[in-house]
Structure 1
């Protein structure tokens, strides 16, 4: 079996309420060609539609998260008038730039090489865990293009203008300690432990009330996009809606009986 004979570039597995999405092209350092990008968008769409999936963990199979774009495949398509068609029917844009918002949280686990679209996947996610082996790079300017997966929008907002420009305009690589210092990743763990740690965080999120998790994510995004006033104006209605849910009653019973709640997402 040859590496490019049609086997999936992205593997999807569900463990309980957690969906694992794996970039699976290790012989190319998980570099993304058009097929991988479309498969990833399909995986995000599947996660969004699955009523039992509450949180996703995105990871890279092998020694690296991703070497970025496979320019041999994608480069010629960038200059074409038709552009790139990366979200198939039923898919969801993993970078959240086109189409409806993702409603459920994503945790990313990275190791080894994490370039360009990999950094942008982190910026589009909620939480990222990095192995101490990870080397990051937003290197598009070294390839005579610009970041087009959201870094120009989100990187300055996430880490501050100076740090974002430092790495986007030089195209230099930086390590996991620097990624943690600037706030790109939430935690740094020894190499090989990143996926387990991401899964532990995801399991903790999945154990919370799903409607409340989704409402929290939605309101925080609203504050970023439209400002504090717009988000504050929605809080009362959202609280009323959540307080009337079946999960709110389950949570109250668990509080009174000092037991762990088993939320149902209704």
Structure 2
């Protein structure tokens, strides 16, 4: 791995994108959000595989130290990008509107926006030791648009409600049981399995594959920008609450939070 926060390796029309902040459990700071968006929008691959560096985490969500603890929804550059997407997180906008098939190779914890990243993929392959959690409620926040529009498609409304309302973190076996992932494999087989699927997709006529993905979006998806506009409005409101600030402080201080409903 290089020192780049997002590494990109492309071979035989398949691009492997690796979130490369293992020291922070591949948490997303603003530069990584923007790098991910740019990589998706600029890709000419026939299939994209996304994974995280190391074996501990796929992506642990927003970087609490750099984003949540400061209470700032975005930097000026992120805000400018958000204007172009109607408020939908720009990286999510790129992922939800690309016609390139995306595979998530979930190698460790997928939490918060890391869980959102995984469910935005078309196919998820999960390591036996990986974990998944929509933990936004634990931070005093609501989830982003994908958790509202995509999670229930995968697991049904009741299972989605339980995951969202409790913030529980589930293991790979449970994720497979409820239909969140299609395959659970040993860690050593994770990337080979994801890449094998990607190469099978890339070997097909690319225009046909892209049309099929566009057709699924047209048939099944909501207007993501409308959902994103609602979500970012709620997230900004909630970030200003005492409970959200308490959650970030408790995380930094390594203690249990005390929520007051304010």
Task: Give the TM-score normalised by structure 1.
Answer: 0.74
In structure 1, the residue matched to 2:52 is 60
The alignment status of 1:85 with 2:79, answered yes or no, reads: yes
Match of 1:109 among 102, 105, 128: 105
Deviation at 1:95, TM superposition (A): 2.0
Instruction: Pick the structure with greater CA Rg.
Output: 1
Provide the aligned C-alpha RMSD in A.
Answer: 2.8
Aligned residues, how many? 216
Deviation at 1:124, TM superposition (A): 1.3
Which structure's residues are more often helix, by fraction? Answer: 2
The alignment status of 1:206 with 2:202, answered yes or no, reads: yes
Moved more, 68-77 or 27-36: 68-77
Task: Give the TM-score normalised by structure 2.
Answer: 0.75
Separation of aligned partners in 1, 2:210 and 2:73: 38
Moved more, 110-119 or 17-26: 110-119
Match of 2:20 among 13, 24, 28: 24
Deviation at 1:82, TM superposition (A): 6.4
Residues 219, 177 of structure 1: alpha-carbon distance in 2 compared, 3 angstrom cutoff: same
Deviation at 1:205, TM superposition (A): 0.1
Q: Which runs of 5+ in 2 are unaligned?
A: 223-262
Residues 84, 169 of structure 1: alpha-carbon distance in 2 compared, 3 angstrom cutoff: farther
- Counterpart of 2:58 in 1: which secondary structure? coil
Task: Using CA pairs under 8 Å that are at least 6 residues apart, name the structure with larger relative contact order, 1 or 2.
Answer: 2
In structure 2, the residue matched to 1:171 is 167
**Alpha-carbon displacement from aligned partner over 1:95-142 (angstroms, at most 9, x marks no partner):** 23x798201111110122111112211221110100000111110111
Q: Which runs of 5+ in 1 are unaligned?
A: 1-5, 227-266
Separation of aligned partners in 1, 2:77 and 2:149: 20
In structure 2, the residue matched to 1:182 is 178
In structure 1, the residue matched to 2:114 is 118
Residues 32, 123 of structure 1: alpha-carbon distance in 2 compared, 3 angstrom cutoff: same
- Counterpart of 1:65 in 2: which secondary structure? strand
